[in-house]
Amino acid sequence: MDAGKVMAGALQKQSSTQSKGLKTWRYFTGTLALLTTLSLAGCYGPPLSDRATGTLIGGAAGVGGGALVGSAVGSPLAGAAIGGLGGAGLGYLIGNSMQHQQYGYGGYGNYGYGR
């Protein structure tokens, strides 16, 4: 009877390992499908404004930098999240300023008061 229990336990561990691998594969496939859909959806539409471009570039740089700093501390996901938010915010401000200079909102741009 002991051999039967050992064999049943081994089979249960094997099926548990297989189900974990299957679950991981499903998450990976779903994430890949979502990323593909979002990247294709991003190709549609007019060109991005300076504000949107600055926000995206700042967010991407912030995620990368935050992940590097977070991995040194031991928490790369938290670092990436904080860095991404901070980078996107800073990129928004820079892109917004560039867009205001380009269109002359409230100052001495192409259509401003300094003509």
**How long, in residues, is the chain?**
115
Domain range for 97: 46-115
Same domain for 64 and 39: no
Query: Would you state the pLDDT for residue 115?
Result: 45
Burial class (CB within 10 angstroms; exposed 0-12, middle 13-18, buried 19+) of 79: buried
Same domain for 57 and 17: no
pLDDT tens track for 34-69 = 888 888 776 777 788 889 999 999 999 999 999 999
Same domain for 40 and 51: no
Same domain for 53 and 40: no
> Mean per-residue pLDDT for 83-107?
87
Same domain for 98 and 51: yes
| Count of the separate structural domains present in the chain | 2
